[in-house]
Amino acid sequence: MKYLIRSLKYFVAMCVLSVALMGLMILTGTSPMTAEETFYLMFHSDRFVMLGIAIVILSATYPLFGFMKKRVEGDTTAHRQQIENAFRSAGFRLVKEEDEVLYFRGDGLWKRLTLLFEDEIRVSQYGQWIEIEGIRRGVAKAWYLLDSYIAMVKRDEKKQ
C-alpha cells in the first residue's frame, strides 16, 4: 500500500510539474503555440501521449530507486552526537526515538514539501553498523556526512 501511495504522489507531482512548465512557456512567450493549440495537441498528438506514458512509468518505478538503505560502521549510542550533527547538517531533525531507533524528518515545511512528505529517515543499529533507511536524497547526504564525522572521531581517538 505504501508503494502505491508513493507512486501516486510522484505521479501527481510530475503532472503538476509538466503543466506548470507548459504554462510557464505559454506565459513567457517561449512556446510557439497558443494555450488552445497546446491543449488540443495534448489529446491529439503522439508526443503528449508519450509524455503521459513516461510519467506513468517513472511514477510507477520511482519507489524502487527513490528509497535506499546505507550502512556506516559505528554505534548509535557511542556516535549519537555525530548522528544528530550529520542529520542537522543535511536538513533533518530528530522527531522521535523508540526501541533504539531514531526517526528524523525534514526540518521545515519547504524541505518536507520538496520531499513530498516522504521525508522520514530511520536510523538503527544493525550489528556493528549504523543503518540509515529512507528517501535516497536524504539518506545519501546524511550518510556521507555521518561517515565523515565518524571517521574524524576515530582519527582523533587514534591521535590520543
Please tell me the pTM assigned to this model. Answer: 0.73
pLDDT confidence of residue 22: 83
Main-chain dihedrals φ then ψ at residue 123, nearest 5 degrees: -125, 120
For cell 504522489, the residue is: 9
Q: Kindly tell me if the per-residue pLDDT of 132 is higher than 90.
A: yes
What is the residue-wise DSSP string for 48-89? HHHHHHHHHHHHHHHHHHSEEEEEEES-TTTTHHHHHHHHHH
Which is more confident, 2 or 61?
61
**What single-letter amino acid sits at 87?**
F
pLDDT confidence of residue 116: 78
Please name the fold of domain 67-159. Ribosomal Protein S8; Chain: A, domain 1 (3.30.1370)
For cell 515545511, the residue is: 109
Q: Kindly tell me if the per-residue pLDDT of 42 is higher than 80.
A: no
pLDDT confidence of residue 129: 92
**What single-letter amino acid sits at 30?**
T
For cell 548522528, the residue is: 83
Distances (CA, A) of 108 to 104, 111, 112, 128, 141: 12, 6, 6, 32, 17
Structural domain boundaries in the chain? 2-64, 67-159
- Render pLDDT for 51-105 as a digit per residue (tens, 0 to 9): 889 989 999 998 888 889 999 998 888 889 999 999 999 999 999 999 889 999 9
